[in-house]
């Protein structure tokens, strides 16, 4: 994306590029219905002029060649019955036109809904599939706002707005064509006056719509961010007695947000007032113009009636055209935002990508880390020269001071980060080239488990539909995570709702639910990142015992500050300043590495011989 704002043409073209390929043919149906509706509008208004003339002077039926041909061709016996027939035709045209318009409205909204759903899924897939660092560096409020609000505005205020704009402009064109055919001079004069007045008004306020669109994005994101942060830190806010500060902070942001909405709502209503004034002036001008021509009474009445009916029909269309043009300008920033997220990842734009679909690759074996280096930003290396083999079924701990690179190394092994140099392979297969397959072989337990306000079963079988959940696998995971006793005491067992973030469970129980979740799909490798760091000593021991009970059944990679958690691991990998400073069993490393020995002393641990 460039810094220069999109042109209106670019905005429309790029918005329509988001339509699903299989949905685009529905657009042809929409535009076909628009054409039919416009034609029926023109026919209905076109019948007004002869009808009024016939009502004022029935003899017109026999004097006008076209009317006489219809009168005689259909075998009417009197002018009165002919006029009644014309009225019936007008009523029928109006009913059919309204039915077609209702169908058109349904098809338009359904067309927009379908494509909005596809685009929302596509954007959601993009955020889930984009590089981990790209996600980690952005605020989640932006993702939520883009998916929930910006996509809706793109389709409501650009795609649907363009469809409705075309519809209204075709109606206006059809009506003007009828008026030009009947009274070209007065129609051109009125149209010129109308375009001048409305055009001047639109150009005066159009820039304001674009500005409000950009502000709306910022304020929506700020509102969501404030709410997420407040509810996420609700416990600390209460404990510190700072509720009033956060309420005032939210109120300030929401006030700015509502001011944007107020300004936008006001701007969308002003065109109606302007158009009413222009319409009244135009009708008065037409009336004076027709009177000065000294036409026959029937012609005078018919023309005035025609222009009155046309004005009655055109004023809502003209108001809507201005409103839709304003929506287009207002939605430009949202279009830019959505496309800025999608365009770097073209594989997600046109067709849905199945994140799970992938060819089978044998990734059960030793992990070979070869000369791996990594930097979050250029010239600031976090890891360098990492060479390590982790044998299948082995338990290995990554240990080191804060900033030593142990979590970064674990994230590389997990496949979340791609090394700047070197590679990680399993059975000769580079995991960077087989990320989807690797994800099915690895279980991951973070320090803070994200639990949903749902049943225990669904939290363990995370990301599976009810009909896909294997209760035998759930119970196996519960047993391996030492959760059997906890589940046995629950009133509803696996169907117990655990509350938001597992609020009804203790810290240790939540961690063990996280371990059970990681074990549900029977992984070959299990990575635990500071999984016991936030627990008290007793709970940490319980969770550590559950982890050590897994030794030999899966390959364990444990990242820990507390050395007591990893003392039973087969090998300790000690990292210092982004490099491996020592690898050995816990006792041997404590005896042979001075820096690691100091960590052991600080932890006040007694080390046996080994």
pLDDT at 107 over 70: yes
The domain in which residue 64 lies consists of 8-348
Compute the distance between CA of residue 254 and CA of residue 221 in angstroms, rounded to an integer: 11
- DSSP H or E run through 558: strand 555-559
Has residue 152 been placed in a domain? yes
Sign of CA dihedral 189, 195, 196, 201: positive
Q: Does 457 score more than 90 pLDDT? A: yes
CA distance 426 to 392: 10
**How confident is the model over 238-283, as pLDDT tens digits?**
765 677 888 888 888 888 888 888 887 787 777 777 777 777 777 7
Report how far Cα 179 is from the mean position of its chain's Cα atoms: 45
Range list of H helices, 443-574: 456-460, 471-480, 484-489, 507-519, 537-548
Residue 175 in domain: yes
Q: Is residue 554 very low, low, confident or very high in pLDDT (cuts 50, 70, 90)?
A: confident
SS3 492: coil
Closest CA to 186 of 50, 288, 312: 288
370's tokens: 């070869």
CA atoms within 13 A on the CB side of 604: 0
| CB 491 within 8 Å of CB 521 | no
Instruction: Tell me if 274 sits within 8 A of 198, measured CB to CB.
Output: yes
CB atoms closer than 10 angstroms to residue 292: 8
Nearest partner of 171 among 286, 277, 54, 45, judged by Cα: 45
In a domain, 287, yes or no: yes
85, part of any domain: yes
Scanning 47-78, the segments in alpha helix (DSSP H) are 48-56, 60-63, 65-73
The band of 533, judged by pLDDT with boundaries at 50, 70 and 90, is low
Q: Give CA–CA dist 7/551, Å, rounded.
A: 61
Residues 97, 41: Cα–Cα separation, whole Å = 7
Residue 591 and residue 574 in contact, taking contact as beta carbons nearer than 8 Å = no
Q: What is the CATH number of the domain that holds 238?
A: 1.20.1560.10
In a domain, 143, yes or no: yes
User: Could you tell me if 118 and 65 are in contact, meaning their C-beta atoms sit under 8 angstroms apart?
Assistant: no
Residue 606 pLDDT: 56
- Mean pLDDT over residues 287-296, rounded? 69
Tens digits of residue pLDDT in 52-96: 888 888 888 888 888 888 888 888 888 889 988 988 998 998 899
In the chain, how many domains are there? 1
Say if 73 falls within a structural domain.
yes
Task: Using DSSP bridges, classify how beta strands 442-445 and 525-529 pair: parallel, antiparallel or unpaired.
Answer: parallel
Q: How far is CA 100 from CA 97, 107, 140, 177, in A?
A: 5, 10, 44, 21
Contact 413, 557 (CB under 8 A): yes
Distance CA 46, CA 605 (A): 96
Let me know: does 460 contact 516? Beta carbons within 8 Å.
yes
d(CA 455, CA 81): 74
As a whole number of Å, the CA-based R_g of the chain is 36
DSSP for 204-272, please give it. HHHHHHHHHHHHHHHHHHHHHHHHHHHHHTHHHHHHTT-HHHHHHHHHHHHHHHHHHHHHHHHHHHHHH
Q: Is pLDDT at 293 greater than 70 in this prediction?
A: no
Residue 2 has pLDDT above 50, yes or no: no
In a domain, 263, yes or no: yes
Confidence of residue 301 (pLDDT cuts 50, 70, 90): confident
Does residue 30 form part of some domain? yes
Provide the pLDDT for residue 539: 66
| Tens of pLDDT, residues 469-510 | 999 999 998 988 888 888 888 888 899 888 877 888 888 888
């Amino acid at each position: 994306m460039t810094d220069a704002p999109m042109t209106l043409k670019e905005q429309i073209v790029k918005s329509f590029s988001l339509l699903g390929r299989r949905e685009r043919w529905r657009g042809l149906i929409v535009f076909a219905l628009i054409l039919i509706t416009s034609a029926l509008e023109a026919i209905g208004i076109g019948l007004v002029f002869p009808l009024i003339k016939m009502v004022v002077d029935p003899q017109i039926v026999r004097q006008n060649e076209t009317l006489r041909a219809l009168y005689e061709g259909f075998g009417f016996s009197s002018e009165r019955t002919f006029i009644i027939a014309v009225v019936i035709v007008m009523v029928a045209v109006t009913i059919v036109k309204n039915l077609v318009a209702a169908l058109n409205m349904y098809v338009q909204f359904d067309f927009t809904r379908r494509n909005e759903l596809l685009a929302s899924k596509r954007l959601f897939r993009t955020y889930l599939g984009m590089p981990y660092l790209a996600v980690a560096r952005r605020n989640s409020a932006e993702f939520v706002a883009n998916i929930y609000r910006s996509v809706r505005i793109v389709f409501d205020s650009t795609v649907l707005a363009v469809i409705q704009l075309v519809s209204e402009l075709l109606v206006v064109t059809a009506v003007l064509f009828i008026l030009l055919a009947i009274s070209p001079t007065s129609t051109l004069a009125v149209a010129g006056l109308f375009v001048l007045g409305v055009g001047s008004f639109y150009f005066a306020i159009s820039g304001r719509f674009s500005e409000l669109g950009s502000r709306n994005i910022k304020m929506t994101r700020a509102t969501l961010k404030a709410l997420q942060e407040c509810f996420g830190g609700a416990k600390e806010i209460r404990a510190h007695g700072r509720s009033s500060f956060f309420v005032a902070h939210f109120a300030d942001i929401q006030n700015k947000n509502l001011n944007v909405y107020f300004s936008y709502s006001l701007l969308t209503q002003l065109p109606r007032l302007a158009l009413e004034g222009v319409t009244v002036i135009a009708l008065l001008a037409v009336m004076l113009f027709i009177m000065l021509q000294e036409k026959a009474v029937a012609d005078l009445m018919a023309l005035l009636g025609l222009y009155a009916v046309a004005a009655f029909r055109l004023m809502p269309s003209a108001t809507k055209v201005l409103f839709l043009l304003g929506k287009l300008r207002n939605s430009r920033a949202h279009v830019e935002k959505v496309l800025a997220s999608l365009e770097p990842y073209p594989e997600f734009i046109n067709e849905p990508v199945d994140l799970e679909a992938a060819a089978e690759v044998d990734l059960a074996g030793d992990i070979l880390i070869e000369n791996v280096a990594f930097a979050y930003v250029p010239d600031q290396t976090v890891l360098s020269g990492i060479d390590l083999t982790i044998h299948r079924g082995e338990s290995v701990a990554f240990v080191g001071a804060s900033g030593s690179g142990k979590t970064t190394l674990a994230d590389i092994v997990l496949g979340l980060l791609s090394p700047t140099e070197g590679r990680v392979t399993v059975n000769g297969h580079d995991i960077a080239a087989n990320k989807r397959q690797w994800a099915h072989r690895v279980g991951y337990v973070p320090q803070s488990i994200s639990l949903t306000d749902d049943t225990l079963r669904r939290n363990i079988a995370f990301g599976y539909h009810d009909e896909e959940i294997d209760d035998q696998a759930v119970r196996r995971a519960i047993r391996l995570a030492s959760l059997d006793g906890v589940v046995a005491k629950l009133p509803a067992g696996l169907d117990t709702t655990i509350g938001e973030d597992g609020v009804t469970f203790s810290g240790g129980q939540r961690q063990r639910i996280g371990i059970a979740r990681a074990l549900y799909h029977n992984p070959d490798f299990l990575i635990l990142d500071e999984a016991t760091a936030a627990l008290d000593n007793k709970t940490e021991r319980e969770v550590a015992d559950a982890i050590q009970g897994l030794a030999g059944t899966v390959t364990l990679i444990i990242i820990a500050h507390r050395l007591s958690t990893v003392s039973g691991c087969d090998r300790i990998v000690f990292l210092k300043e982004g490099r491996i400073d020592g690898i050995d069993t816990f006792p041997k490393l404590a005896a042979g590495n001075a820096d690691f020995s100091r960590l052991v002393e600080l932890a006040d641990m007694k080390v046996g011989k080994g």
